[in-house]
């Protein structure tokens, strides 16, 4: 067959020509778009893409010394429900809307019941009506956990938008996702809300700090760069009518910081301080508890009275409030003089009438002491004149040496605390040209005036005394941790290897212990834990000769013979106010801290039981033998009754190792059940056919039918019960002889012109 080229080739030519022209047109259009319309189309693409959307990292946690969180970032959720389909295709939208309405109607009772069970505070009747009204109005983004359901205010569709939505936890969200209709993300939406939580409420509030739209103070602010992590970035692209997220840079979560704070000790210190402030009607107060070996701050609290007995930690007074320390400064003065060799520990002083003239000013002691006194007695009884006379005699011609000595031992050092608001102590410098040095400044400085200290600096120095003269920097943060790995560690740091010779330190320690035994704090001696320390009172001047309140302090350490913790309690209180008023709070803290750290070994408990043989009463000696065998209590028995449940008998050994023997029980004859417990006595007597009545409490002390009586059928025996006598009898607790408000010997300074 011949090919009809004359017909086919013209057609083929025109097809090729048309395709070629179309191709040229496409290329030309592409070139036109790429050149002339380039800016237009790039601008259009930018409208479909959102660049540089930040990805917030998880903020690191602030942890207590045992790993429990003091501040942590948590995700909570707000849930909403769409009663109106968002589909654009009419056919799909109608089908989806029908499915929504059907599921809602069929499962309304289940949804209401389960939501009221999972979420607290919902009323089932009101909540049901709330959902029905929203379904009738085809609401979108309806809050499923509303703050309130007020139908008079929020019944119509417009005003319902003003209802606020409460947050729910992830566990609650998981439970709600199991419910019909709500299990689908197309119906119920969940928006994540990142929050900063303090699981223990306001515990250590000023120390931990606050984070709300940024770090504000405390450790949150100091370690903000560590806790915050690094932001990531992403952008959204429009793909097939849907926004698709494209991550450009992953977010790096923040690291955690481990503090030295002990949650239990912090709670103890805060509650004790609050109770004492309320009892004494004080204006404010602060407590710092620290480990003397490492300088670790175990607890730090500052409370201020904001009226009507409400105390809150508004400012960190423990580190930021500077007060004249008063008599708690006296051991510092003596340690400087002992270190410089200006005085000795065996030095004595003769006092007359409890007053002394320094220049034109007269210093008076609050309690008159005359005669020869030792350095130890001056400290224990807080004698102002004795301290000032000794220091003034030693440094009168060289006050600069006294100032330099205070600086050299580290009493007024900058403690480099990682907290905002910390203030370094102020001590008047006799060599400064900016201040006037009066002749009376030295004696008044020696007893805690003409100086300004925070509670932190005072307790830190006393921790050095307790530590045998080795002064440490306070430590608040131990380490920075990321994903379980320590990336930065803060080891304990030494501030001063020795603030005095071992002999001088031991002498001052004994004097501080004497303060509690016979001195100004003797009213608050503890029979549970030994402690040593110093009381201090300083007037807070308002100008001129006026003063309305005192700064009172007790600072010390415990146990006295082997110091582990140092603590300071400081209060600002209107007169009358004396330093030993703070000793009560110190004693409570010392006793409860030592009770918390006491050994709880069951082995030791077992040994204690073995050393003190128990009193074994008459009755089922087989049971007594089994109990003592399990507790490893040494005892003797007539035979081994491990295979027998009940063997009636008695302990014939009144003291020492128990010795168990069995009694012969004769059927039909009343036995002697005195000394039995009620349960054993009733069980035995009923087994012999007797009816039993009992009066009283305790063990059987008398029985109406005597031993050996022949039992008659239906006969009744009456048992008289009485408490045990002797060693096991409960003694009445001795009453606390310490009054609520103590009028103790004063150690405040009286100054007259």
pLDDT band at 47 (very low <50, low <70, confident <90, very high): low
Does residue 262 contact residue 298 with C-beta atoms inside 8 Å? yes
End-to-end CA distance of the chain: 143
Hey, what are 625's tokens? 């033998």
pLDDT score, position 154: 54
Does residue 557 contact residue 462 with C-beta atoms inside 8 Å? yes
Is residue 173 predicted with pLDDT exceeding 60? yes
Does residue 567 contact residue 557 with C-beta atoms inside 8 Å? yes
pLDDT score, position 548: 67
Is residue 729 predicted with pLDDT exceeding 70? no
Hey, what are 536's tokens? 């201090």
Give the pairing of strands 477-482 and 256-259.
antiparallel
State the Cα–Cα distance between residues 580 and 520, nearest whole angstrom.
7
State the Cα–Cα distance between residues 726 and 406, nearest whole angstrom.
60
pLDDT score, position 2: 66
* Residue % of the chain over a pLDDT of 70: 88
Hey, what are 210's tokens? 């606050």
Q: Residues 413-454: pLDDT tens digits?
A: 999 999 988 999 999 999 888 888 898 999 999 999 989 999
pLDDT score, position 613: 63
Of the listed ranges 86-90, 304-308, 364-368, 738-742, the one predicted with least confidence: 738-742
Half-sphere exposure of 8 (CA within 13 A, CB side): 4
Does residue 594 contact residue 558 with C-beta atoms inside 8 Å? yes
| Average pLDDT rounded to a whole number, residues 247-258 | 89
Residue 611 contacts by C-beta under 8 Å, 6 or more apart in sequence? none
pTM: 0.70
State the Cα–Cα distance between residues 572 and 578, nearest whole angstrom.
10
* Residue % of the chain over a pLDDT of 90: 41
Is residue 117 predicted with pLDDT exceeding 80? yes
State the Cα–Cα distance between residues 581 and 369, nearest whole angstrom.
22
Domains and CATH numbers, the chain: 45-68+199-259 (3.90.1310.10), 75-197 (no CATH), 263-597 (3.40.710.10), 615-664 (no CATH), 667-730 (3.30.10.20)
| Average pLDDT rounded to a whole number, residues 496-520 | 93
Determine the Cα angle at 229 with ends 227 and 235, to 5°.
Answer: 145
Give the relative orientation of helices 502-517 and 330-340 as an angle to the nearest 10 degrees: 150
pLDDT score, position 404: 94
Would residue 246 be called left, alpha or beta, if left means φ above 0 and alpha means ψ between -120 and 50 degrees? beta
C-alpha closest to that of 497 among 466, 464, 475, 474: 464
Q: Which is more confidently placed, 668 or 476?
A: 476
Q: What is the dihedral of CA 199, 202, 205, 210, to 10 degrees?
A: 70
Does residue 619 contact residue 627 with C-beta atoms inside 8 Å? no
C-alpha closest to that of 297 among 352, 251, 258: 258
| Average pLDDT rounded to a whole number, residues 526-553 | 81
When the pLDDT of each residue in the chain is averaged and rounded to a whole number, the result is 84
pLDDT score, position 464: 96
Residue 649 contacts by C-beta under 8 Å, 6 or more apart in sequence? 618, 619, 620, 621, 638, 660, 661, 662, 663
pLDDT score, position 647: 82
Hey, what are 439's tokens? 């002749």
Q: Is 707 helix (H, G, I), strand (E, B) or coil?
A: coil
pLDDT band at 265 (very low <50, low <70, confident <90, very high): very high
| Average pLDDT rounded to a whole number, residues 605-626 | 67
Q: Which residues partner with 434 through β-bridges?
A: none
pLDDT band at 410 (very low <50, low <70, confident <90, very high): very high
Write down how long the chain is: 753
| Average pLDDT rounded to a whole number, residues 654-683 | 83
In the block, residue with structure tokens 């003592």: 628
DSSP string covering 413-468: -----SSTT----EE--TT-SSS---TTHHHHHHTT-SEEB-HHHHHHHHHHHHTT
State the Cα–Cα distance between residues 476 and 488, nearest whole angstrom.
14
pLDDT score, position 439: 87
State the Cα–Cα distance between residues 524 and 515, nearest whole angstrom.
10
Is residue 599 predicted with pLDDT exceeding 60? no
pLDDT band at 618 (very low <50, low <70, confident <90, very high): confident
* CB-neighbour burial class of residue 29 (10 A; exposed 0-12, middle 13-18, buried 19+): exposed
Determine the Cα angle at 695 with ends 691 and 697, to 5°.
Answer: 125
Does residue 235 contact residue 49 with C-beta atoms inside 8 Å? yes
Longest dimension (CA), the chain: 151
* H or E segment and range at residue 504: helix 502-517
Determine the Cα angle at 501 with ends 499 and 505, to 5°.
Answer: 75
| Average pLDDT rounded to a whole number, residues 245-268 | 91
Of 157-161, 639-643, 680-684, 727-731, give the range with the top mean pLDDT: 680-684
Backbone angles phi, psi at 593, to 5 degrees: -65, -45
In the block, residue with structure tokens 């007020």: 150
Is residue 614 predicted with pLDDT exceeding 80? no
pLDDT band at 15 (very low <50, low <70, confident <90, very high): confident
Of the listed ranges 59-73, 510-524, 711-725, the one predicted with least confidence: 711-725
Is residue 655 predicted with pLDDT exceeding 80? no
| Average pLDDT rounded to a whole number, residues 664-672 | 86
Is residue 738 predicted with pLDDT exceeding 80? no
Is residue 155 predicted with pLDDT exceeding 60? no
pLDDT score, position 689: 84
pLDDT score, position 742: 33
Q: What is the dihedral of CA 676, 682, 688, 690, to 10 degrees?
A: 120
Does residue 78 contact residue 163 with C-beta atoms inside 8 Å? no
Q: Residues 369-400: pLDDT tens digits?
A: 778 889 999 999 999 999 999 999 999 999 99
| Average pLDDT rounded to a whole number, residues 622-630 | 80
Is residue 45 predicted with pLDDT exceeding 70? no
pLDDT band at 158 (very low <50, low <70, confident <90, very high): low
pLDDT score, position 445: 93
Q: Which residues partner with 540 through β-bridges?
A: 549
C-alpha closest to that of 333 among 395, 242, 262: 395
State the Cα–Cα distance between residues 137 and 133, nearest whole angstrom.
6
Of the listed ranges 44-48, 237-241, 263-267, the one predicted with least confidence: 44-48
Is residue 740 predicted with pLDDT exceeding 70? no
pLDDT score, position 51: 67
pLDDT score, position 353: 77
Does residue 145 contact residue 119 with C-beta atoms inside 8 Å? yes
In the block, residue with structure tokens 């250590």: 204
């Amino acid at each position: 067959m011949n090919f009809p080229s004359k017909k086919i080739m013209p057609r083929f030519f025109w097809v090729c020509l048309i395709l070629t022209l179309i191709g040229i047109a496409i290329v030309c259009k592409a070139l036109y778009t790429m050149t002339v319309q380039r800016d237009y189309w790039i601008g259009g693409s930018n409208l479909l893409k959102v660049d540089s959307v930040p990805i917030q990292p998880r903020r690191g946690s602030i942890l207590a010394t045992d790993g429990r969180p003091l501040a942590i970032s948590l995700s909570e959720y707000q849930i909403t429900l769409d009663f109106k389909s968002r589909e654009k295709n009419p056919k799909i939208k109608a089908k989806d809307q029908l499915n929504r309405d059907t599921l809602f109607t069929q499962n309304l009772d289940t949804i209401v019941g389960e939501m009221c069970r999972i979420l607290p505070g919902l009323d089932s009747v009101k909540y049901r009506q709330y959902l029905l009204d929203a379904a009738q109005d085809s609401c979108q983004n309806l809050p499923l956990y509303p703050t309130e359901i007020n139908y008079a205010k929020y019944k119509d569709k417009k005003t319902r938008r003003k209802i606020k939505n409460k947050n729910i936890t992830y566990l609650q969200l998981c439970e709600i996702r199991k419910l019909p209709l709500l299990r689908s993300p197309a119906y119920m939406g969940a928006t994540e809300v990142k929050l900063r939580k303090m699981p223990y409420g306001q515990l250590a509030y000023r120390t931990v700090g606050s984070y709300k739209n940024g770090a504000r103070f405390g450790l949150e602010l100091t370690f903000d760069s560590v806790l915050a992590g690094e932001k990531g970035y992403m952008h959204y692209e429009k793909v097939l009518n849907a926004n698709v997220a494209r991550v450009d840079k992953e977010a790096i979560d923040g690291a955690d910081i481990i503090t030295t704070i002990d949650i239990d000790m912090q709670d103890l210190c805060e509650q004790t301080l609050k109770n004492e402030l309320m009892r004494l009607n004080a204006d404010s107060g602060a407590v710092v508890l620290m480990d003397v070996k490492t300088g670790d701050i175990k607890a730090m609290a500052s409370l201020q009275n904001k009226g009507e007995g409400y105390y809150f930690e508004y400012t960190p007074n423990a580190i930021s409030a500077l007060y004249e320390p008063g008599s708690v400064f006296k051991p510092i003065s003596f340690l400087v003089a002992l270190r410089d060799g200006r005085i000795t520990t065996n030095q004595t002083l003769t006092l007359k009438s409890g007053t002394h003239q320094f220049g034109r000013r007269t210093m008076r002691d609050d309690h008159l002491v005359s005669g020869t006194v030792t350095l130890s007695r001056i400290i224990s009884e807080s004698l102002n004149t004795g301290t000032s006379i000794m220091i003034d005699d030693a440094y009168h011609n060289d006050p600069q040496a006294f100032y330099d000595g205070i600086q050299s031992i580290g009493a007024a050092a900058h403690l480099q605390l990682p907290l905002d608001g910390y203030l370094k102590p102020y001590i008047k410098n006799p060599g400064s040209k900016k201040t006037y040095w009066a002749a009376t400044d030295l004696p008044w400085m020696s007893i805690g005036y003409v100086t300004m200290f925070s509670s932190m600096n005072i307790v830190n120095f006393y921790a050095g005394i307790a530590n045998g003269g080795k002064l440490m920097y306070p430590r608040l943060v131990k380490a920075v941790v990321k994903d379980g790995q320590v990336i930065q560690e803060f080891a304990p740091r030494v501030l001063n290897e020795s603030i005095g010779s071992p002999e001088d330190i031991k002498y001052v320690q004994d004097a501080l212990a004497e303060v509690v035994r016979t001195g100004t704090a003797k009213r608050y001696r503890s029979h549970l834990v030994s402690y040593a320390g110093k009381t201090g009172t300083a007037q807070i001047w308002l100008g001129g000769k006026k003063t309305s309140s005192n700064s009172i302090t007790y600072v010390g350490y415990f146990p006295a013979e082997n110091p582990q913790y140092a603590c300071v309690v400081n209060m600002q209180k209107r007169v009358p106010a004396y330093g030993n008023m703070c000793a009560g709070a110190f004693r409570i803290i010392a006793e409860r801290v030592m009770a918390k750290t006491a050994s709880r070994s069951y082995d030791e408990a077992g040994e204690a039981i073995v050393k003190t043989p128990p009193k074994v009463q008459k009755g089922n000696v087989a049971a007594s033998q089994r109990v003592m065998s399990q507790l490893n209590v040494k005892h003797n028995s007539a035979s081994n009754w491990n295979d027998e449940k009940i063997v009636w008998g008695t302990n014939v050994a009144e003291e020492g190792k128990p010795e168990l023997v069995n009694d012969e029980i004769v059927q039909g004859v009343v036995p002697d059940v005195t000394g039995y417990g009620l349960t054993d006595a009733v069980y035995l007597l009923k087994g012999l056919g007797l009816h039993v009545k009992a009066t009283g409490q305790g063990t059987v002390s008398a029985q109406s039918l005597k031993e050996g009586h022949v039992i008659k059928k239906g006969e009744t025996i009456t048992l008289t019960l009485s408490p045990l006598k002797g060693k096991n009898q409960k003694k009445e607790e001795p009453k606390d002889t310490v009054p609520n408000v103590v009028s103790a010997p004063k150690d405040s300074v009286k100054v007259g012109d």
